[in-house]
Amino acid sequence: MCDYKAADLASVADQLEQLNAGAAGLLAGRLDLGRLGGFGHSFGGNAALQWCRNDGRCQAAANLDGALWTAFDGWRTVYQKACPGYTMQVKRASHVSFMDVPFLPLPAEGPVKAMLAATQIQPRRMWRITCDMLLAFFARHLDQAAGLILKGPSGDYPELTFGAP
């Protein structure tokens, strides 16, 4: 399932290479393709990990609440290759918390309402945590910034619990 999604990410990297190599255009010669990463939610997170596993251009990947569907030993492979690797859990969040669905007007009788009912974290807070953690992760692994936020719990993010793969 995720092989074709990982291939989509490889196709994006191919397009970025072409844009960077072009003689004209806004991005010609301006992209640092040695610092590519990917992330996604659910199946998209699995695709990001699979793309990083398959494609040496990917330097970092984040999987937001996604399982690994690509192989029986998928998580074992992540654990072995993700050096360093991180796990974070957001208290009171659910699978739908990582989507934009909580910000949308939804019909009361729709199936998503029940999913949202299981979510106890405020959507804006979840959005802030997700953005901050992704920015810190990619800053650390693509920009070699300190990324202190990834080293453990913080007073700014009491909703997070940290672990290691």
Give the integer Cα–Cα distance in Å for 62 and 64: 6
Find the helix or strand (DSSP H, E) in which 77 lies.
helix 74-81
User: What digits encode the pLDDT tens for the residues 114-161?
Assistant: 888 888 999 999 999 999 999 999 998 999 887 666 777 788 999 999
Q: CB burial class (10 A; 0-12, 13-18, 19+) of residue 156?
A: exposed
pLDDT confidence of residue 39: 96
Higher local confidence (pLDDT), 36 or 81: 36
